[in-house]
């Protein structure tokens, strides 16, 4: 029995009863029986799944091929259609891309270069002395494509075309598909269309020539339109030289209004709200621009915020002075003209009629110190911002009012004229202007009450809200709650009308006042005070 150790067999010497060893050696007694070897397991059989015949036909080796990639020999096909040799190229391609006849060399170089006459180091056996192999474009993949010479024998084989048959017009155009009668009909239609086109062109040319006349002259002009005395043109021509445009500048702010010359000394009547910004500013300037374009500086003579009137003076020698009329002689429906500088457009004239008289209107100061209620002339002559201070003249050219305010659909006067303009009657304006020229200020009559407009459905009036202590009303016995119906000869229909009725009177004047107290009519006499 032997034990394997380091690849060598150890045999016990004769006479030894046992063999000592390391590792797997053990003592064996000669008299002991040989131990039985343990059973050994055989390797597990390989599992070989069955191979699909279809896969075998596709991926299997060809018949007769034992190793991978073995070269093909023999026939072009193995009989089962899986691997076949490359078919020869078509004759046309071979003739187009193969070498010329007589050149038997192929494109493949030999594995080692050959020397001269077969010696190493010499030119290859296929080299042409005039065309070395390394310069042959057939062997250089980077050589550009170019057309070669025609193949031998091509010129002799190509037939020379002979002269062809000539085509007629009919064959060329219609290819023998149109009947001759149709051609005749087409020709007739073409001639007819051409004739119609020529006629239309002729008529068009004649019409165009009729629109112009080289020797044309206009008829002689007639006399100008007559402008009789009293016409709008006549009135405007007479009044415009007396109307000025007033330009106000306060710092970087400015404004435009109108005015009318009322005295040969250069006094100009206008509205207080036109010149009020200049009166309140130290660096303000006022200029009056006449209808002929002349600009002159102006100075404020006096202002009256309670009637919205002011007088300025310009240094002009012999100015054109407007004719002053009378507003008391006006009637509703009389024709009037509004003259001024609306929106800065100097010398603008609009005409209309007197729409109403004695219309109490409370004015919006528009940022000025004006707090006025005027007994206005209402007119539909167009008045816009910039017309303020300009004259309202009658059909004789006389000034009957000073244009002051409008009623518009927008806020303030921003909406423009809608045919509701208001002018201060010249009778009131003349009295105020004279006082301003004389004294520089005006004194107004005061009753000494505050009132509101009331009505009982049949009668309108002004109800007293409070009475100023020590005033004219208190001295006359008027108390709060009394309804004033009449002041002097003027009926009172509201609070604004009470204000204008009192201011038309003079301070110190004694006037009867009709009132209603607790349903009973009373008449008291008040001596008007001065403001």
Whether residues 341 and 452 fall in one domain: no
pLDDT on residue 34: 56
- Name the strand (E) or helix (H) holding 299: strand 295-304
Whether pLDDT at 218 is above 70: yes
What integer pLDDT is reported at residue 213 of this predicted model? 73
The CATH number of the domain holding residue 322 is: 2.40.10.120
Last residue of a domain, one of 396, 412, 439: 439
Residue pLDDT, tens place only, 420-475: 999 999 999 999 999 999 998 999 999 999 999 998 888 899 999 999 998 999 99
Q: Of 439, 460, 490, which residue constitutes the final position of a domain?
A: 439
Query: Which residue among 258, 276, 304, 308 is the active-site one?
Result: 308
Q: Please say which residue of 439, 468, 492 terminates a domain.
A: 439
Catalytic residue status for 369: no
Would 428 be classed as within a structural domain? yes
DSSP H/E element including 186:
helix 180-210
Domains contained in the chain, number: 2
Same domain, 404 and 521: no
Where do we find the tokens 């065309």?
131
Range of the domain at 518: 445-530
pLDDT of residue 133: 60
Q: If you write DSSP's letter for every residue of 4-61 in order, what string do you get?
A: EETTEE--PPTT-S----STT-----TTSPPPPPPP-PPPPPP--PPPPHHHHHHHSP
Query: Would you call 308 a catalytic residue per the annotation?
Result: yes
Name the nearest CA neighbour of 338 among 240, 411, 410, 468.
240
Distance between CA atoms of residues 109 and 41, nearest Å = 61
Q: Answer yes or no: is pLDDT of 2 > 60.
A: no
Query: Is 231 assigned a catalytic role?
Result: no
Classify residue 16: in a domain, yes or no. Answer: no
Residues 451 and 431 in one domain: no
Q: Which one from 273, 327, 380, 472 is the annotated catalytic residue?
A: 273
* 409 and 504 both lie in a single domain: no
pLDDT at 487 over 90: yes
pTM of the model: 0.59
If asked whether residues 331 and 467 sit together in one domain, one would say no
CA distance 478 to 475: 8
Instruction: Categorize the per-residue pLDDT at 370 as very low, low, confident or very high, splitting at 50, 70 and 90.
Output: confident
Q: Is the pLDDT of residue 527 over 50?
A: yes
CATH number of the domain within which 508 lies: 2.30.42.10
Mean pLDDT of 51-70: 74
Kindly give, in sequence order, each residue whose CB lies less than 8 Å from that of residue 27, ignoring residues fewer than 6 positions away.
Answer: 18, 19, 20
Say yes or no: 282 and 420 in one domain. yes
pLDDT in tens, 64-91: 776 665 555 554 444 554 555 567 888 8
Same-domain check for residues 411 and 469: no
Burial class, 257, CB count within 10 angstroms (exposed 0-12 / middle 13-18 / buried 19+) = buried
The answer to whether residue 20 scores a pLDDT higher than 90 is no
Name residue, tokens 């006349």. Answer: 213
Q: Do residues 406 and 489 share a domain?
A: no
pLDDT in tens, 174-210: 666 667 777 788 889 999 999 999 888 887 776 666 6
| Cα dihedral 87→90→91→92 (10° resolution) | -160
Q: Identify whether residues 247 and 324 lie together within a single domain.
A: yes
Per residue in 104-144, pLDDT (tens digit) is 555 555 555 545 544 555 555 555 666 666 666 666 666 67
Report if residue 399 sits inside a domain. Answer: yes
Catalytic entry in 388, 408, 413, 472: 388
- For residue 114, tell me if it sits in a domain: no
Residue 12: which pLDDT band, with cuts at 50, 70 and 90? Answer: very low
């Amino acid at each position: 029995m032997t034990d394997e150790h380091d690849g060598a067999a150890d045999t016990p010497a004769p006479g030894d009863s046992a063999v000592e060893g390391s590792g797997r050696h053990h003592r064996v007694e000669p008299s002991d029986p040989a131990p039985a070897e343990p059973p050994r397991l055989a390797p597990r059989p390989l599992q070989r799944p069955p191979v699909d015949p279809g896969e075998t036909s596709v991926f299997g080796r060809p018949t007769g091929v034992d190793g991978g990639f073995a070269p093909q020999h023999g026939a072009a096909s193995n009989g089962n259609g899986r691997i076949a040799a490359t078919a020869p190229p078509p004759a046309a391609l071979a003739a187009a891309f193969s070498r010329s006849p007589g050149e038997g060399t192929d494109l493949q170089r030999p594995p080692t270069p050959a020397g001269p006459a077969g010696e190493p180091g010499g030119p290859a056996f296929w080299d042409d002395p005039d065309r070395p192999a390394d310069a042959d474009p057939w062997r250089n993949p980077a050589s550009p494509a170019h057309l070669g010479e025609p193949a031998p024998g091509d010129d002799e084989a190509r037939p020379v075309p002979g002269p062809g048959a000539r085509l007629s017009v009919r064959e060329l155009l219609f290819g023998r598909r149109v009947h001759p009668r149709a051609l005749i009909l087409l020709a007739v239609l073409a001639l007819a269309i051409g004739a119609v086109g020529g006629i239309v062109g002729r008529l068009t040319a004649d019409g165009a020539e009729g629109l112009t006349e080289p020797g044309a002259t206009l008829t002689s002009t007639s006399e100008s339109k007559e402008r009789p005395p009293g016409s709008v043109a006549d009135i405007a021509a007479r009044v415009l030289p007396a109307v000025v445009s007033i330009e106000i500048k306060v710092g970087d702010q400015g404004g435009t209004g109108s005015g009318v010359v009322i005295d040969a000394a250069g006094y100009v009547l206008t509205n207080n709200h036109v010149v009020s910004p200049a009166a309140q500013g130290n660096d303000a300037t006022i200029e009056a621009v006449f209808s002929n374009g002349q600009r002159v500086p102006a100075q404020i003579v006096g202002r009256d915020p309670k009637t919205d009137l002011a007088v300025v003076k310009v240094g002009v020698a012999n100015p054109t002075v407007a004719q002053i009329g009378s507003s008391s002689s006006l009637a509703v429906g009389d024709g009037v003209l509004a003259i001024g500088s609306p929106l800065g457009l100097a010398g603008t004239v609009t005409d209309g009629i007197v729409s109403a008289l004695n219309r109490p209107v409370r004015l919006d100061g528009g940022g000025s110190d004006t707090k006025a209620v005027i007994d206005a002339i209402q007119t539909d002559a167009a008045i816009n911002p910039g017309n303020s201070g300009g004259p309202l003249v009658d059909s004789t050219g006389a000034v009957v009012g000073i244009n002051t305010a409008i009623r518009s659909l927008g806020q303030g006067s921003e909406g423009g004229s809608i045919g509701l303009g208001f002018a201060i009657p010249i009778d009131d304006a003349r009295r105020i202007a004279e006082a301003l020229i004389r004294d520089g200020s005006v004194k107004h009559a005061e009753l000494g009450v505050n009132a509101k407009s009331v009505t009982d459905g049949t009668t309108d009036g002004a109800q007293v809200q409070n009475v100023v202590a020590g005033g004219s009303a208190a001295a006359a016995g008027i108390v709060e709650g009394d309804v004033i119906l009449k002041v002097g000869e003027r009926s009172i229909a509201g609070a604004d009308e009470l204000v204008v009725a009192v201011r038309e009177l003079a301070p110190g004047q004694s006037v009867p006042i009709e009132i209603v107290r607790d349903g009973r009519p009373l008449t008291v006499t008040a001596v008007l005070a001065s403001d």
